[in-house]
Amino acid sequence: MNQKVRAPWAVMLPALFGAIITLLPLWYLLDQVIRSGWESFSNEIFQDRTARLVVRSFLLTATVTLGSVAIGVFAAWTTTMTAIRGRAVLLILLSVPLAIPSYLAAFAWLSWQPGLSGFRGAALVLTLACYPYVMLPVAAALRRVDPAQIEVARSLGSSSFDVIFRLVLRQVRTAIVGGALLVALYVLSDFGAVAAMRYEVFTWVIYGAYRSGFNPARAASLSMVLVLAAAVLVVLESRVRGRGSMARIGKGLARNIRWKTRVSSAVVSWMIAAVIIAAGVGVPVFSVIDWVQRDSATAVDSGLVFESIVNSFQIGLFTAIAATLIALPIGIGVVRFSSWSTTSIERSTYISHALPGIVVAISLVYAGVRLLRPVYQEIPLLILGQVVLFLPLAVASIRMSIEQSSVRLEEVSRSLGLGQMMTIFKVTIPIALPGIAGGAALVMLATVKELPTTLLLRPTGTETLATSIWKYSTVTDYAAVGPYAVALMLLAAVPTAVLSAITIVKGRAHST
């Protein structure tokens, strides 16, 4: 019922700037395709091997997304809606895979099971890496389900099966679909796991086209297909998301509901969770421990390890700050000044998220040479590349936390004499701070783990944890990888712990 308010320029301009940055890769791709002409483009696209690539990529994306939704929803349900012991510990352990980069997990599995490769290996590793993207938002949403509704449904004669599938899961549909979108985009753009598992999908072939033959036209054409796939996913998501708003009269306290859990089903739940944790966390951790204990062909230089840690940390921190600053106006715009333009800006940030890091990297090199020569092959360009890749993580998190805060508070602030911008700084942002911090942590995590963009955009000679792991893993010098892998897991584990803590605390705030 609120009147549409036009976004002030102070919000609109930075948001627009953010959108333009994230569309840089698209501009590059279009330029490439146009330059090489329609004929060469269609030649690249309409051929058997491209069709095979599409099928393979689709298979992998669909398998991993479905698997992640199944595991993620199960994990969220077990840790929030059941009465089994150790739910909080389970939730934290189940979110640890967020801290493990997919290529590291892939090499860990390969060093244990060398026979595992191709589709099976890639699907397994990616599913284990991705289900937390579904689990965390679904767990948060489940905690907000009104227990009275469940009780009403039960009293109207619905079985618990009905209640779970017709009532509860329908209400957390937004969270499931949103998580599934993140997973699908992640799979489309992942490079490390598929390269390690030698499963030929778009990203790997594009990488090959740039690296070996340096065939930018073919790579750009294939990238365009990926962009299209990402656009379809984004549109699908907003269609399915629909309007799942909750109607609730009065504001009586929401009691915590816990399904009565029989001992047998609690044991089964625990066992399933244990298998997931063993596969997603146990295998990588034990492999890394095993690596550290092996004798290395090359002596480990602790100075180099330390330098990599500092580099990874700095790049992660600056990327998180930059992405948060750019995401803020976009998130505020789409929630508080909802309009055609702010929505398009928000949606556009998702497009580059689906692009393989390699495409983003190359397009920034291209932009760097043309527009940003002073920062070419410097840290700022690398950070810009990471921002382009991971902006949606910050936007989604900020958007969600602003949606949850009441507009009334901002109206009170306006009536007390604070202007639109002052109100944003004094009320909107402070209240959304946990979500903003959560988004920043997600970005930092993703940046520290990120491989292909870092490989291509880093200044010559600069090694991060990710590039070091890659360097030694590709020559199967696992002993040398050990210390870097340990450092990366620890560095990434910190933000993961922050994220899990936020999810849990948020849940508490809603349930007490």
Partner 1 sequence: MSTPALVVRGVSHSYGDHRVLDDVNLVVEQGSLTAILGPSGEGKTTLLRLISGFEQPDVGEIEIAGRLVASAGNVSIPPEKRGVTIVPQEGSLFPHLTVAGNIAFGLRTHSTTDRKKRVSELLDMIGLSGYENRRPEELSGGMQQRVALARALAPSPDLILLDEPFSALDTSMREQVRDEVMTTLRDAGATAVWVTHDQQEALSTADQVSVLLHGHIAQTTDPVTLYRKPVTREVAEFVGDAVVLRGHVDSGHNTAHCGLGNLSVANDVRAGDVDVLLRPEQLVTAESTSQPHGVGIVTLSRFFGHDGIVVVRLETGELIEMRLHAMNLPQPGDSVSVTVNGAVLAYNCL
Chain residues in the site for partner 1 (CB under 8 A) = 1-3, 251, 406, 408-409, 411-420, 422-423, 426-427, 430-431, 433
Least CB distance from residue 106 to partner 1, whole Å?
Answer: 43
Under 8 Å between Cβ of 283 and 124 = no
Of 232 and 433, which has the nearer Cβ to partner 1? 433
Least CB distance from residue 248 to partner 1, whole Å?
Answer: 13
Of 11 and 481, which has the nearer Cβ to partner 1? 11
DSSP secondary structure string for all residues of 134-187: HHHHHHHHHHHS-HHHHHHHHHTT--HHHIIIIIIHHHTHHHHHHHHHHHHHHH
Q: Which two three-digit tokens encode residue 105?
A: 């997990």
Rounded distance, CA 508 to CA 240, Å? Answer: 29
Half-sphere exposure of 410 (CA within 13 A, CB side): 23
Of 114 and 417, which has the nearer Cβ to partner 1? 417
Least CB distance from residue 411 to partner 1, whole Å?
Answer: 6
Least CB distance from residue 416 to partner 1, whole Å?
Answer: 3
Rounded distance, CA 361 to CA 215, Å? Answer: 15
**Residue 9 neighbours by CB distance under 10 Å:** 10
Of 249 and 299, which has the nearer Cβ to partner 1? 249
Least CB distance from residue 412 to partner 1, whole Å?
Answer: 5
Under 8 Å between Cβ of 87 and 269 = no
Of 232 and 409, which has the nearer Cβ to partner 1? 409
Least CB distance from residue 510 to partner 1, whole Å?
Answer: 12
Rounded distance, CA 7 to CA 156, Å? Answer: 46
Under 8 Å between Cβ of 481 and 489 = no
- Contacts of 344-348 spanning 24+ positions with Cβ under 8 A: 344/19, 345/15, 345/16, 345/18, 345/19, 346/395, 346/399, 347/234, 347/238, 348/19, 348/22, 348/23
The whole-angstrom distance between residue 470's C-alpha and the CA centroid of its chain comes to 21
Of 1 and 246, which has the nearer Cβ to partner 1? 1
Least CB distance from residue 425 to partner 1, whole Å?
Answer: 12
Least CB distance from residue 404 to partner 1, whole Å?
Answer: 11
Nearby residues of 348 by Cβ (< 8 Å), 6 or more positions away:
19, 22, 23
Rounded distance, CA 497 to CA 163, Å? Answer: 32
Of 200 and 410, which has the nearer Cβ to partner 1? 410
Of 89 and 422, which has the nearer Cβ to partner 1? 422
